[in-house]
Structure 1
Amino acid sequence: MCKSIELRITNQELRFMREDKINKIEAHVAGICFDGDNVLCLKRSPERKIYPNLWECGGGAVWPGENFEEAVLRELRDESGIIAECLGVSGVYEILTPDLEQKKIPGLKMTCRFLGYEGGTNEPKLSSEHVEWKWVSVDKLDGIDFIPGVADDIRAAYEIYRKM
């Protein structure tokens, strides 16, 4: 289980925040899921607006009422049918969105351990967001057409995973 950070906000601080009308923001998670020395890689659909046809590890938006761990586990399950456990945060990232009011979407990179496939199957069940999947050995990431920076993110997460 990921370590949680507990924030204690007083009623007066909460009232101030509401009266100040602080805008809601979108936040994301990325799940880097390992099974031994292999990492789950998903190829984005050609219909995706951002980074079509490039490889990633999965992830997406945090929904209202979710914490980061719940969001990353849901995203892995929804996108690939993977059941995993969250081991911890391996980094932060941001998605630049200059055409939107929120110019940057912040995100957390989460290191995860593969536990199985939903429904007891023997392979991932992809959502419409992805068209292909594969388990890739961490020492064979070069040559895969990843979203920029993802291969380095995998290597960094693997160092955390190896120590668990």
Structure 2
Amino acid sequence: MKLLPRHAVPAGNKFMIDGAGRGGDLVEELRRIGAYGVLRDDHGRVLLARGSERCPYPGVWQLPGGGIEHAEHPARAVEREFVEETGLVVGAGAIRAAVADVAVFPAGGVAVHTDRLVFDVEARGGELRPEPAGGSDEVGWFTPDEAAAVPLMPFTAELLGLPVSPLPADLPRALPTGPAVPPVDRRQRFAAYGLVTDPAGQVLLTMIADGYPGAGKWHLPGGGTDHGEQPAAGLLRELVEEAGQLGRVVDLMAVDNLHNPAALGPEGRPLDWHGVRVIYDVRVDVPTDAVVTELAGGSTARAAWFAPEQVSGLRMTDVAARATGHRGR
């Protein structure tokens, strides 16, 4: 399922905006990944940061955090962003949510899809202060009622269990800042995978097809999400395409980070590859024979159910081995 902004019509890797905005103009689809933290004080109040005039959403409050740099682990990213935006040194704990949203910037002719990873964090030092020259011009502690009274980024309101209110019509403004163009090709990819089991405890795995990195190894079902797609929805779509199974997400288990600076891209060109992968616990209540339904030429060669005692003898990818509690071969 591909979710698009209101009034948007898909057109390959671009889409048309009609009605509001620049009617009929093609808009380029861009992706970014962000990491954010939930920090509470001894009174249960949550720390929020207000966007400065330099950010796309000035005057709007959100959980502290920001964009993940190339090759950076999301947990390290939220720790770095916390120091920059709030002055506090924190340690990232468990991941608590993975959500996505799309913002259209008509003046720039782009629609930015942001995958947002939210961690619980613990304060370890520092002194609370904003970053006026950067992304935040004010920081503060909020009770639920106090947070509900200020403009909030939708993902923040949702994470705090508060009503999601529309943002002012003139937002967002300037595009998020990004790194300079590197001298070699770089790619950052967000993907969602699942540790998929059935009521009998069998584990569903998929084999990577020839011509793809890790060919011949068993892997977790899942893959890259589409522009505008929520992570959990993308995983369930991939589960149907790769194995013909209908599943339900039980929980968000972990986030995995993969950096390969020496990968090979199309035509053998060097590619600096950074993959950020969230891993869900998924249950298939009514399992069927695993059948690959995606079009020929895809990255999945076959899919199969395995009893727990069979899994340890399989040749698996590192992420599949970790998720199943076994060592890869």
Same fold (TM over 0.5): yes
- The TM-score normalised by the length of structure 2 is 0.39
Residue 299 of structure 2 corresponds to 129
What letter corresponds to residue 132 of structure 1 in structure 2?
A: R
What letter corresponds to residue 27 of structure 1 in structure 2?
A: F
Distance 2:259 2:311 in 1: 25
Higher helix share: 1
Q: Does 1:95 align with 2:258?
A: yes
Which segment drifts farther, 63-72 or 140-149? Answer: 140-149
Distance 2:220 2:271 in 1: 25
User: CA shift at 1:79, angstroms?
Assistant: 1.2
Residue 173 of structure 2 corresponds to 15
SS in 2 for 1:15: coil
- The TM-score normalised by the length of structure 1 is 0.74
Residue 30 of structure 1 corresponds to 193
Residue 109 of structure 1 corresponds to 279
% same residue: 16
Relative contact order (alpha carbons < 8 A, sep ≥ 6): 1 or 2 greater?
1
C-alpha distance 25-47 of structure 1, shift in aligned 2 (>3 A) = closer
For 1:8-87, what aligned pairs fall within 5 Å after superposition? Answer: 14-16=172-174, 18=175, 20=177, 26-36=189-199, 37-48=201-212, 50-87=213-250
> How far does the alpha carbon of each residue in 1:39-97 deviate from its partner, in whole angstroms, 9 at most, with x for none?
1011111222x100000121111111111110110111111111100111111112324
User: CA shift at 1:14, angstroms?
Assistant: 3.7
Higher strand share: 2
SS in 1 for 2:271: coil
C-alpha distance 60-4 of structure 1, shift in aligned 2 (>3 A) = closer
Unmatched 5+ stretches in structure 2: 1-95, 100-154, 158-165, 181-186, 262-269
Unmatched 5+ stretches in structure 1: 157-164
Distance 2:189 2:98 in 1: 19
Between the two proteins, the alignment pairs up a number of residues equal to: 148
